[in-house]
Amino acid sequence: MALCPSCGSDAAGLFCAACGAPVGAAHCSSCGAALSPGSRFCASCGQGIGSSSRPPARSKLTLLPVIAGGLAIVALLVVLYRSDSRARQAASVPEPEPEAAPPDLGSMTPRERFDRLYDRVMRATEKGDQATVDRFGQMALAAYGMLDQVDTDARYHAVLLRLHLNDADGARQLVDTIVRTANGHLFGYLAQGMMARWKSDSAALEAAYRGYVGRYDTELAKHLDEYTAHKTMLDQFLTDAKAALARRPGGLPAGEAPR
């Protein structure tokens, strides 16, 4: 005796007496695999022999909701992208620049790496690209920490990097180092002025201005390389300092006049 693979009745011979289905070389009604005589379940898919319930077939129809859902998400992303692009244009916000191939920092000296990364941060600052400032600013500070020698110029650049990364405490420590190690250097007054502006400290800013104006001619006569490289910046700070001091009760230092 064997079980009919179609209706599950006891059957003998080649055909089931109850439903007439072949008993010998039967196949699973769900997956089509060959059934062994006497089996109650299909060894391939687990379908019960003679059961009327079938697992849902993986047909094209069952995939349609999935495909439709995926297409809907893609369409939504396209709409959002276009809306964001229109919003940027309406607000006159430039699209982020495509990133150029990164420079081969490994072939540079430590100072070249630091200077290259610092310049990248400053360009991003001018464009208001804070994401790039955050990314390359940390890299620039890491390069600063690997310098063989640290001069006043590098320290001043590190001050600006820390300020743009909102690290006021780190910037202040560097300013103190510049003032302590390079007494009278114009970059020391510059850094103090930057910190004062950042903190909206008018008294500290006035002190930085007065020290700067008082030392400007003496320091510039030294013809230091960093003074030559940053002459435009130094002259601008001098103009700002004299204009601000001219409006203060104490006025400009003796012999000085606004430019």
137-185 per-position pLDDT tens digit: 999 999 999 998 999 999 999 999 998 999 989 999 999 999 999 989 9
For 11, 218, 224, 225, 228, the CA distances from 231, given in Å and listed in that order, are 105, 14, 10, 10, 5
> What pLDDT score does 249 carry?
67
Region for residue 100 given its phi and psi (left: phi exceeds 0; alpha: psi -120 to 50; beta: otherwise) = beta
Give the 3-state secondary structure of the chain: CEECCCCCCEECCCECCCCCCECCCCECCCCCCECCCCCCECCCCCCECCCCCCCCCCCHHHHHHHHHHHHHHHHHHHHHHHHHHHHHHHCCCCCCCCCCCCCCHHHCCHHHHHHHHHHHHHHHHHCCCHHHHHHHHHHHHHHHCCCCCCCHHHHHHHHHHHHHCCCHHHHHHHHHHHHHHCCCCHHHHHHHHHHHHHHCCHHHHHHHHHHHHHHHHHHHCCCCHHHHHCHHHHHHHHHHHHHHHHCCCCCCCCCCCCC
Which stretches of the chain score pLDDT less than 50?
52-85, 87-88, 93, 96, 252, 254-259
Q: Is the pTM of this model over 0.75?
A: no
> What pLDDT score does 83 carry?
45
Question: In degrees to the nearest 10, what's the CA dihedral of 93, 95, 99, 105?
Answer: 0
Cα 127 vs. chain centroid, distance in angstroms?
16
> What pLDDT score does 244 carry?
92
Report whether 157 contacts 187 (CB < 8 A). no
Whole-number Å distance between alpha carbons of 259 and 254: 15
> What pLDDT score does 254 carry?
42
Residue type, 144: Y
- CB under 8 Å to 203, separation ≥6 — which residues? none
> What pLDDT score does 177 carry?
92
